Amino acid sequence: MDTMSGAGQPSALVLVAEDDDEIADILASYLARSGFRTLRARDGRQTLDLHLSARPDLVLLDVQMPLVNGWMVLAELRRRGTTPIIMVTAMDQDIDKLMGLRTGADDYVVKPFNPAEVVARAEAVLRRAAPPAHAGPRVIRIGALSIDLDRHEVVAQAQGQPVPVQLTLTEFRLLAHLAAAPQRVFGRMDLLTHCLPDGEALERTVDSHVSKLRRKLEEVGIAEVPVNVRGVGYKFGGGA
Output the pLDDT for position 213: 95
Is the model's pLDDT at 8 over the cut of 70? Answer: no
Residue 131 CB contacts under 8 Å (≥ 6 apart), including other chains? none
Q: Residue 52's pLDDT band (boundaries 50, 70, 90)?
A: confident
Output the pLDDT for position 24: 95
Angstrom distance (rounded) from CA 86 to CA 12 = 15
Q: What are the structural domains, with CATH classification, of the chain?
A: 13-129 (3.40.50.2300), 139-235 (1.10.10.10)
Q: What ranges in 60-187 are assigned the alpha helix state H? A: 70-80, 94-103, 115-129, 169-180
Each residue's pLDDT tens digit, 104-139: 888 888 888 899 999 999 998 888 877 655 555 688
Output the pLDDT for position 55: 87
Each residue's pLDDT tens digit, 201-223: 677 788 999 999 999 999 999 99
Is the model's pLDDT at 234 over the cut of 70? Answer: yes
pLDDT over 70, % of the chain: 89
Closest by CA position to 193, among listed 81, 86, 106, 69: 81
Cβ-in-10-Å burial (0-12, 13-18, 19+) of 175 comes to buried
Pairing mode, if any, of strands 153-158 and 161-165? Answer: antiparallel
Output the pLDDT for position 215: 94
Output the pLDDT for position 94: 73
Q: Which is more confidently placed, 6 or 112? A: 112
Q: What is the mean pLDDT of residues 72-95?
A: 84
